[in-house]
């Protein structure tokens, strides 16, 4: 289940709390953002140790500057608080999952 991140501080706390995490950045009137979110949620069912944080840029405008975001949706994979992978606008789900799987397996091994 996705956790709504309601501030930049909440975003940083989320990353500090989780060794591996996925962040989905969206806006209110973005149909692509709303279509991608359930796909990411479904993918993460196979990775029970990976939480999903959702940031609505319509509510937290400053996140664009914090993460250097120029378009939405943006899906990011963080490991140990560092951004390891980013996809924006057109999300390649297979490529995204491939990167996630590699990082997930490195935690297991």
Comparing 48 with 108, which gets the higher pLDDT?
48
Cβ distance 6 to 60 under 8 Å?
yes
Q: Is the pLDDT of residue 94 over 70?
A: yes
pLDDT digits (tens, 9 = 90+) for 14-40: 999 999 999 999 999 999 999 999 999
* Global pTM value: 0.96
Would you identify the CATH topology of the domain 2-104?
Glutaredoxin (3.40.30)
Q: Is the pLDDT of residue 56 over 70?
A: yes
pLDDT band at 1 (very low <50, low <70, confident <90, very high): confident
Q: Is the pLDDT of residue 109 over 70?
A: no
Cβ distance 90 to 39 under 8 Å?
no
Domain boundaries, the chain: 2-104
């Amino acid at each position: 289940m996705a956790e709504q991140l309601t501030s930049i501080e909440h975003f940083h706390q989320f990353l500090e709390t989780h060794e591996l995490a996925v962040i989905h950045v969206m806006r209110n009137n973005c149909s692509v953002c709303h279509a991608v979110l359930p796909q990411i949620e479904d993918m993460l069912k196979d990775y029970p140790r990976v939480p999903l944080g959702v940031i609505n840029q319509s509510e937290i405008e400053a996140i664009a500057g914090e993460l250097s975001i120029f378009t939405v949706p943006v899906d990011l994979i963080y490991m140990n608080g560092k951004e390891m992978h980013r996809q924006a606008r057109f999300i390649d789900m297979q490529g995204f999952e491939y990167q996630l799987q590699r990082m997930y397996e490195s935690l297991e091994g």
